[in-house]
């Protein structure tokens, strides 16, 4: 290519000079923005951010996670705010332990990093009910996330509480704190059309409400192209380097709030991962196109402790992120991205203060050049062809670009980094068997009670919706009825249609079958041949949720649980959907909290038997292993249920649900060191199916 041709192909884009200043009434660092970047204390900033969610790890882990992110070249820690964690009951707040958001933000500040606070307060995030507290469901006249006064009142109350809490601790950058960005709402554009005329006014209201809180830092809306000024619209997804059309104003910077580092795992969804090369390619391309803020979602995924997962999501969250579930560095991902950050930061001055030029280098090849009047120059040479390498000519020199790669030239001459070339060695997770719990005399068990219609006090002549009945106080809802069978033929067929998620069917106290949906298809049907007594029969159907839905319009209208029940015998077929039903929320062991040490004696435990009955609680006491290790509880021998250690739930497990390759979606479950005592630890397991606790072990997790 001749020099004259190169000049003709250049297109120049000047740096936008309009600066949007966010008013602040207190002293601190002024945070503003223009069409090139965020501006902090008068300085344009090129920032790399890492999503680390405070409730998905423990306070004892926060410092280490943030420190490792900083070592990886991260400038900002980004987190959602979890409304249902902080306000589980209307007006009753919790900011303790893993919910201590102030402590988390101060930990970020102590490491010299900035913070990005995504208040939402709807967050999705594969978190139970998208972060909304279920008590909202019972607010009269409420419609979530639209121009609905009842919803807006509660959303504003919570948003204001969080903002005022941050202000009271001087945590906004305008006060000298680390918070430089806040987010209101979350990916609303994806559902806005469903609300018709109630959608756009809600967007305008949310933006105005947030800005009026006067945080002194900018607000953003992700996946909301019409975000009203001065709110910044941002990109979410894997390919924002290609797909983002840019902000809706030339005076706003290009921000990428979610660059997915892998995929979360969900039962029924085939496990996938994402390479370090692909992540780096999209980041480099986004920066080349004018991006100056990139957040990795997740940088550390962590653990969905307790019942915090959304529907069908595994307890382990984004384990393949740059920092794995246990907090270990995952290589080559973290190392490759660290080198990418260093290469891009070496181009900071031309990117932030230069003029951008674009140059066609081929059919699917492009050069992005940033040049200052001083002559300082940086270039990004891009090959978007994912099938072959290409040699391009740039500034009279040839450069080979691998498939789907970007070469970074901080001086427009020398390549210091190519996104497709990994120069970091892999590491591997090492699992060492620690303490085995394979001696039957160590275990005790309690078989939960299967209620009959006569045992219940809640009655209805229709099938009740699961979530509205349990109010998310339990995964479990018993549907019971008494069935009169008048025939010498004892055989019949029980047919149940369920809107999700799991069903265990009992006839006269005996389990006759189970069924379940999955992440891709929630609804399912159970048809089982049953044996009936001549006369009265007790039918007890246990409906089970595996987290509540976290996305979609009109979340308050979502329905789970049984939809139709029929019994077919030799004489007739009876639809029992409008029969007299008795209901019980939760299991007896839950109600008595037998997973807690002080209330474990509320039931009569017996010595372990090998019968492996369904709906059985198991408990064992043990001494801790070596200190300062990371532990995973191997539950490969179990079926489905929940686990507590010293009264703290490490989450749901479902080892019997297999991938198409025949492997459990998750076998090891994270046990934080802070959950353990040196002596006399109490492990309690609720097993729904017929798993055996004799195969459980507490293993040591490390990397090599």
* Three-state SS annotation for 254-307: EEEEEEECCCCCECCCCCCCCCHHHHHHHHHHHHHCCEEEEEEEEEECCECCCC
Q: Write down the residue that tokens 């795992």 correspond to.
A: 265
Query: What is d(CA 559, CA 513) in angstroms, rounded to the nearest whole number?
Result: 23
> pLDDT averaged over the chain?
95
Using only C-alpha atoms, the chain has a radius of gyration, in whole angstroms, of: 28
Helix residue ranges, H only, 127-221: 149-168, 199-211
Task: Mark whether 688 is an active-site residue.
Answer: no
CB 287 within 8 A of CB 294: yes
pLDDT at 21: 58
Helix 199-211 and helix 149-168, axial crossing angle in degrees, nearest 10: 20
37: its two tokens: 């970047």
Helix 149-168 and helix 101-110, axial crossing angle in degrees, nearest 10: 40
Strands 11-13 and 562-569: unpaired
580: its two tokens: 């007299």
Going 483 to 484 to 486 to 488, the CA torsion angle's sign is positive
Q: Residue 551 half-sphere exposure, CB side, CA atoms within 13 Å?
A: 16
CB 211 within 8 A of CB 230: yes
Going 251 to 257 to 261 to 263, the CA torsion angle's sign is negative
Query: What is d(CA 580, CA 578) in angstroms, rounded to the nearest whole number?
Result: 7
User: Is the peptide bond between 667 and the residue preceding it cis, with omega within 30 degrees of 0?
Assistant: no
Tally Cβ neighbours within 10 Å of residue 348: 17
Instruction: Report residues of the chain scoring pLDDT below 70.
Output: 1-27
User: Is the peptide bond between 501 and the residue preceding it cis, with omega within 30 degrees of 0?
Assistant: yes
Query: What is d(CA 294, CA 299) in angstroms, rounded to the nearest whole number?
Result: 12
Task: Mark whether 187 is an active-site residue.
Answer: yes
Q: 456-471 burial string, b = 16+ CB within 10 Å, else e?
A: beeeeeebbbbbbbbe
CB 234 within 8 A of CB 38: no
With H, G, I as helix, E, B as strand and everything else as coil, classify residue 159.
Answer: helix
Query: What is d(CA 17, CA 28) in angstroms, rounded to the nearest whole number?
Result: 23
Q: Write down the residue that tokens 């372990």 correspond to.
A: 608
Query: What is d(CA 702, CA 433) in angstroms, rounded to the nearest whole number?
Result: 11
Query: What is d(CA 652, CA 686) in angstroms, rounded to the nearest whole number?
Result: 9
Phi, psi of 430 (to 5 degrees): -115, 125
Query: What is d(CA 598, CA 591) in angstroms, rounded to the nearest whole number?
Result: 14
pLDDT at 27: 63
Q: What is the pTM of this model?
A: 0.96
Tell me the longest C-alpha to C-alpha distance in the chain: 98
Distances (CA, A) of 297 to 48, 258, 302: 11, 5, 12
Distances (CA, A) of 6 to 296, 358, 374, 393: 35, 10, 21, 9
Burial of 135 (C-beta count, 10 Å sphere; 0-12/13-18/19+): middle
With H, G, I as helix, E, B as strand and everything else as coil, classify residue 399.
Answer: strand
Distances (CA, A) of 614 to 94, 207, 443: 35, 51, 16
Q: Which of 107, 124, 187, 688 is catalytic?
A: 187
Query: What is d(CA 480, CA 539) in angstroms, rounded to the nearest whole number?
Result: 6
Going 619 to 546 to 296 to 116, the CA torsion angle's sign is negative
CB 449 within 8 A of CB 588: yes
Strand partners, 259: 296
CB 634 within 8 A of CB 697: yes
With H, G, I as helix, E, B as strand and everything else as coil, classify residue 78.
Answer: strand
Task: For the sheet with 43-45, list strands across it.
Answer: 20-21, 31-33, 38-40, 43-45
Query: What is d(CA 312, CA 330) in angstroms, rounded to the nearest whole number?
Result: 25
Q: Write down the residue that tokens 């382990």 correspond to.
A: 316
Cα 523 from chain centroid (whole Å)? 23
Strands 640-645 and 232-236: unpaired
CB 204 within 8 A of CB 198: no
Nearest C-alpha neighbor of 470 from the set 145, 142, 143, 138: 138
CB 318 within 8 A of CB 65: no
Nearest C-alpha neighbor of 666 from the set 655, 682, 677, 680: 655
Q: Which of 107, 124, 189, 258 is catalytic?
A: 258
Going 164 to 165 to 170 to 171, the CA torsion angle's sign is negative
Query: What is d(CA 340, CA 335) in angstroms, rounded to the nearest whole number?
Result: 9
């Amino acid at each position: 290519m001749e020099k004259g041709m190169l000049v003709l192909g250049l297109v120049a884009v000047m740096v936008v000079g309009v600066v949007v200043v966010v008013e602040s009434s207190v002293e601190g660092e002024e945070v503003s923005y223009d069409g090139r970047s965020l501006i902090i204390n008068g300085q344009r900033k090129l920032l790399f951010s890492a999503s680390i969610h405070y409730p998905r790890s423990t306070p004892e882990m926060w410092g280490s996670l943030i420190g490792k992110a900083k070592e990886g070249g991260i400038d900002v820690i980004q987190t959602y705010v979890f409304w249902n964690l902080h306000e589980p009951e209307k007006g009753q707040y919790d900011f303790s332990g893993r919910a201590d958001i102030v402590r988390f933000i101060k930990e970020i500040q102590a490491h010299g990093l900035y913070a990005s606070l995504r208040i939402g307060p709807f967050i999705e995030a594969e978190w139970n009910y998208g972060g909304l507290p279920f008590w909202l469901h019972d607010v009269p006249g409420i419609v979530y996330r639209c121009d609905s006064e009842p919803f807006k009142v509660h959303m504003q109350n919570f948003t204001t509480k969080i903002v005022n809490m941050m202000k009271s601790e001087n945590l906004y950058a305008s006060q000298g704190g680390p918070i430089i960005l806040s987010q209101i709402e979350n990916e609303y554009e994806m559902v806005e059309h469903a609300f018709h005329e109630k959608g756009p006014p809600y967007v305008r209201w949310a933006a105005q409400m947030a800005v009026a809180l006067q945080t002194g830092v900018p607000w953003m809306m992700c996946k909301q192209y019409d975000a009203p000024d001065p709110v910044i619209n941002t990109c979410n997804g894997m390919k924002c380097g290609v797909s983002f059309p840019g902000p809706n104003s030339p005076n706003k910077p290009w921000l990428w709030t979610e660059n997915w580092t892998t995929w979360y795992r969900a039962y029924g969804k085939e496990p996938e991962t994402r390479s370090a090369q692909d992540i780096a390619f999209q980041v480099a391309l986004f920066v080349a196109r004018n991006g100056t803020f990139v957040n990795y979602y997740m940088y550390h995924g962590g653990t969905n402790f307790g019942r915090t997962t959304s529907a069908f999501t595994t307890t382990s969250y984004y384990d393949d992120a740059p920092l794995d579930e246990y907090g270990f560095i995952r290589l080559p991902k973290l190392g490759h991205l660290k080198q990418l950050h260093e290469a891009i930061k070496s181009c900071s001055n031309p990117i932030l203060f230069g003029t951008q030029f674009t140059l066609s280098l081929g059919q699917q090849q492009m050069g992005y050049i940033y040049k200052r009047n001083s002559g300082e120059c940086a270039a990004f040479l891009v090959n978007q062809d994912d099938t072959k390498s290409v040699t391009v000519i740039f500034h009279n020199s040839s450069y080979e670009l691998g498939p789907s790669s970007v070469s970074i030239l901080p001086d427009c001459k020398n390549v210091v980094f190519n996104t497709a070339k990994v120069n970091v060695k892999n590491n591997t997770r090492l699992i060492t068997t620690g303490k085995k719990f394979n001696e039957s005399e160590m275990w005790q068990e309690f078989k939960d009670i299967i209620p009959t219609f006569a045992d219940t006090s809640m009655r209805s002549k229709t099938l009740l919706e699961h979530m509205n009945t349990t109010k998310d106080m339990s995964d479990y809802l018993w549907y019971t009825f008494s069935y009169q069978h008048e025939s010498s033929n004892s055989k019949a067929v029980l047919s149940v249609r369920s809107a999700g998620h799991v069903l265990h069917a009992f006839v006269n106290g005996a389990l006759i079958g189970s069924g379940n949906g999955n992440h891709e298809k929630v609804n399912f049907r159970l048809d089982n041949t049953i044996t009936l007594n001549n006369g009265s029969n007790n039918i007890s159907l246990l409906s089970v949720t595996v987290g509540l839905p976290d996305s979609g319009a009109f979340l308050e209208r979502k329905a789970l649980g049984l939809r139709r029940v029929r019994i077919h015998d030799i004489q007739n077929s009876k639809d029992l959907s409008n029969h007299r039903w008795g209901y019980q929320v939760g299991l007896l062991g839950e109600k008595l909290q037998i997973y807690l040490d002080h209330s474990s004696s509320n039931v009569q435990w017996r010595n372990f038997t090998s019968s492996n009955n369904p709906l059985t609680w198991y408990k064992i006491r043990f001494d801790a292993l070596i200190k300062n290790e990371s532990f995973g509880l191997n539950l490969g021998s179990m079926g489905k249920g929940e686990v507590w250690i010293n009264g703290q739930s490490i989450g749901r497990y479902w080892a019997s649900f297999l991938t198409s390759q025949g492997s459990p979606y998750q076998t090891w479950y994270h046990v934080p060191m802070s959950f353990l005592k040196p002596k006399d630890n109490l492990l309690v397991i609720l097993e729904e199916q017929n798993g055996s606790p004799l195969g459980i072990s507490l293993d040591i997790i490390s990397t090599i």
